[in-house]
């Protein structure tokens, strides 16, 4: 179901781009797509380095974090993936993320706070979720979604300028007003669809992470702050 939602939402973003291009002219659509895809291809190739540098993550050896390396190696093997690089962020809050444009270039980063606040079982559940993102190639999906959303935003800007600078090709005032309305609504709609894609990929990573770990309850324990909508486990007397 989450895969289907992703496909439908990506289709909706594509339809927005085509609709805007049809209204403005095909040359604008192709120009906006080329600009958006160029920007996001750059992000796809270099986002892992940028994100890791901005977060202050540093690669740790097996000797420094033996248990963390063991968990990542075990889970990536269960997922049929190469072992990602393991990085640590010296921060007190609990967080983790995976990055990399493909499984061979993947990296998993966790904060010091995550290792201190969660137990080993919960840390393993979080790592399974992040490795599921790698297995599902969510960086690629996010890049495509961001490229389409950026193209819609660029086309919306063109609509805005055309509406502010006057009518196009002698069209009436209604055309200018509709262009301004599209310029306001389309980028918001594209952003909402992009967020919907992100949410569907998160749920898919939860599902895949549960299968990879073989321990679904580890992803929903009350002490795990990174799991959305975590529910308490039933207590057996």
Six token digits for residue 63: 């000797």
Beta bridge partners of 96: 110
Q: What's the pLDDT tens digit per position in 19-70?
A: 666 666 667 767 766 766 676 677 667 767 777 888 889 999 999 999 999 9
Residue 149 vs residue 209, higher pLDDT: 209
Q: What's the pLDDT tens digit per position in 6-18?
A: 667 666 767 766 6
Confidence category of residue 237, pLDDT binned at 50, 70, 90? very low
pLDDT of 5: 64
Q: What is the pTM of this model?
A: 0.69
Domain boundaries defined on the chain: 2-217
Secondary structure class of 120 (helix, strand, coil):
helix
Round to whole Å and give the CA distance between 160 and 111. 43
**In b/e form, how buried is each residue of 172-199, taking b as 16+ CB within 10 angstroms?**
eeebbeebbebbeebbebbeebbebbbe
The catalytic position among 65, 130, 171, 202 is: 130
Q: Out of 1.10.760.10, 3.40.50.150, 3.30.2010.10, 3.40.50.300, select the CATH number for domain 2-217.
A: 3.30.2010.10
Round to whole Å and give the CA distance between 68 and 58. 14
Round to whole Å and give the CA distance between 187 and 206. 29
Task: Work out the average pLDDT over 223-236.
Answer: 40
171 is known as an active-site residue: no
First to last CA, the chain: 36
pLDDT of 233: 32
Round to whole Å and give the CA distance between 36 and 41. 8
């Amino acid at each position: 179901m989450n895969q289907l939602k992703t496909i439908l939402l990506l289709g909706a973003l594509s339809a927005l781009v085509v609709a805007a291009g049809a209204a403005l002219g095909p040359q604008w659509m192709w120009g906006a797509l080329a600009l958006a895809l160029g920007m996001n291809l750059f992000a796809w190739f270099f986002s892992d380095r940028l994100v890791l540098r901005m977060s202050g993550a540093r690669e740790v050896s097996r000797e420094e974090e033996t248990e963390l390396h063991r968990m990542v190696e075990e889970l990536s093997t269960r997922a049929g993936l190469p072992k990602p690089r393991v990085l640590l962020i010296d921060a007190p809050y609990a967080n983790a993320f995976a990055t990399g444009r493909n499984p061979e270039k993947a990296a998993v980063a966790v904060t010091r706070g995550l290792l201190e606040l969660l137990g080993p079982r919960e840390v393993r559940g979080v790592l399974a979720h992040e490795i599921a993102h790698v297995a599902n190639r969510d960086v690629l999906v996010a890049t495509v979604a961001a490229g389409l959303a950026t193209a819609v935003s660029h086309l919306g800007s063109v609509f805005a300028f055309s509406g502010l600078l006057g009518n196009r090709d002698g069209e009436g005032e209604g055309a200018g007003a509709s262009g301004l309305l599209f310029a306001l609504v389309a980028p918001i709609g594209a952003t909402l669809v992009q967020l919907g894609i992100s949410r569907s990929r998160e749920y898919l990573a939860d599902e895949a992470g549960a299968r990879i770990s073989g321990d679904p309850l580890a992803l929903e324990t009350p002490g795990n702050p990174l799991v959305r909508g975590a529910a308490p486990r039933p207590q057996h007397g």
